[in-house]
Structure 1
Amino acid sequence: MYTQIPLGPLQTNAYVLYNEKKEAVLFDPGGDGAAFVNWIREQKLTPQAILLTHAHFDHIGALEEVRQAFACPVYLHEAEKQWLLDPLKNGSARMGRQPIKTKPADHLLKDEGTLKVGSFSFKLFHTPGHSPGSVSYYVADENIVFSGDALFQQGIGRTDLFGGNHELLVQSIHNKLLTLPEETIVASGHGPLTTIGQEMDHNPFLNGY
């Protein structure tokens, strides 16, 4: 079971994945920390971890507030291990916003494959291009992939920010995400849910590659 919750000034999608025991993992707490924490408590959920798809400012704006509220570890790809500490790299200093600095991630992701976090199991894909450490978390049992800003409904992530690479992003999408079953739900960092099949058929950035 999962819930999509847009947060922060850019309405970045946070996601909450939870089970019948009310155990949960949280994806990309981008802002509105107090409201997000209150919602989790109202649902009587017990967060076991915060999983970051990448470390851009609009995905980490409420990270420290949420981490402290639930004392749960943070997972991030090692390619962006300095980004939580550096407002230039995470983009907060470049966008005319309050610079964001947090504590380091508790766990640095490196290898693709199975990732076990508490009661949850994911297939981890490194999907760089939007940023060097972008990752996607696939949950076969839920038929969903949390893709961050790699793939959107009829769009892909921007690549004009620090560490971005358009060609690499398109390769990541084709070689990793489009290999998933076509009915797989794509839970993107912005906008509505879509599916792998819909993007294979209708995404203008992918057709004809």
Structure 2
Amino acid sequence: MAPRVDKVITSGIFSIDGEDHEVDNNIWIVGDDEECIVVDAAHDHEPIVEGVDGRRVVAVVCTHGHNDHINAAPALADAVGAPIWMHPADTMLWDDVHPDRPVDAPLRDDQVIEVGGHRLKVIHTPGHSPGGVSLHDARGHLLFGGDTLFNGGPGATGRSFSSFATIIDSIRDRLLPLPDETVVHTGHGDDTTIGDEAPHLDEWIARGS
């Protein structure tokens, strides 16, 4: 059985390396009718609180530390009484946005998050940022991939703290071995599946080399 998954979309500015970009972000609320986690708190906490709809929030989980994925995290955490979790390799990105509010606990590779009777495994997938993670629900064949793998290829690199070679390694070694039917819920844009993306690995490598 798959967990209950609710999607909220918020819009705002992604800022990096002195440039601003208007973006729409996918926020994923994962669990059951009683409790949930929130995957990435982007831009505006109020519609996320509405999506939570009174459930207990186990944690606000950050797939990485770019501002458009964390800028609403403290306000959301305060509103729902939940801790914020993020991989420590992205601490410098977090501190740039929230210098006076540390993350509550670190995420680690292979950590298991239990929520609503479901288990999501943390997979460290650096490349888009050093501390990027994906969350895998093996039983439900779901992956919450942040900005590591999109419908159409890997997340953006070529920016501070990013690496094309590293994100390719993460995708090839950690994500593409997952079952083909695994649905990838992305940080932006449309869903995809591992089976739809896997045949294109060599194309991505050639394009990015």
TM-score over 0.5 for the alignment? yes
Displacement after TM superposition at 1:61 (Å) = 1.8
Q: Distance in 2 between matches of 1:73 and 1:189?
A: 20
| Superimposed CA distance per residue, residues 94-138 of structure 1 (whole angstroms, 9 cap, x where no aligned partner) | xxxxxx55611111123x224134544222211100000001110
CA distance in structure 1 between the partners assigned to 2:206 and 2:38 by the alignment:
32
Partner Cα distance (1:117, 1:73) in 2: 14
1:165 is matched with 163
User: What is the TM-score when the length of structure 2 is the normalising length?
Assistant: 0.85
Which residue matches 1:2? 5
- Indicate the residue corresponding to 2:80 in structure 1: 70
Look up the equivalent residue of 1:115 and give its one-letter code: V
Please name the residue that 1:17 is paired with.
30
- Post-superposition Cα deviations, 1:40-95, rounded to whole Å, max 9, x if no partner, equal 23xx32211111100101101211110000110111111112322214xxxxxxxx
Q: What whole-Å deviation, never above 9, does each CA across 1:143-179 have from its counterpart, x for those lacking one?
A: 1011100000012111122210001100110000001
Answer yes or no: is the 8 Å Cα contact 2:67–2:93 preserved in 1: no
Count of aligned pairs between the two proteins: 193
Residue 113 of structure 1 corresponds to 110
Structure 2 counterpart of 1:205, one-letter code: W
Instruction: Tell me which protein shows more strand as a share of its residues.
Output: 2
8 A contact 1:201–1:207 mirrored in 2: no
Equivalent position to 1:142, from 131, 137, 140: 140
Q: 1:118 to 1:19 in 2, by over 3 A?
A: closer
- Secondary structure of the residue aligned to 1:141 is coil
TM-score by length of 1: 0.85
Cα distance in structure 2, aligned partners of 1:116 and 1:39: 20
Q: Distance in 2 between matches of 1:27 and 1:127?
A: 15
Q: How does 1:35-114 map to 2 (within 5 A)?
A: 35-41=47-53, 44-87=54-97, 101=99, 103-110=101-108, 112-114=109-111
1:164 is paired with a residue whose SS is coil
- Classify the secondary structure of the residue corresponding to 1:167: helix
CA RMSD, Structure 1 to Structure 2 (Å):
2.0
5+ long unaligned stretches in structure 1: 88-99
For structure 2, list consecutive stretches of 5 or more residues without a partner in the other structure.
13-22
Question: What secondary structure, in the 3-state scheme, does the structure 1 residue paired with 2:76 have?
Answer: helix
Residue 204 of structure 2 corresponds to 205
Contact 2:10 2:25 survives alignment (8 Å): yes
Alignment partner of 1:34 is 2:46: yes
1:2 shift after superposition: 0.3
3-state SS of 1:81 partner: helix
Contact 1:114–1:121 (CA<8 Å) still a contact in 2? Answer: no
SS at match of 2:59: strand
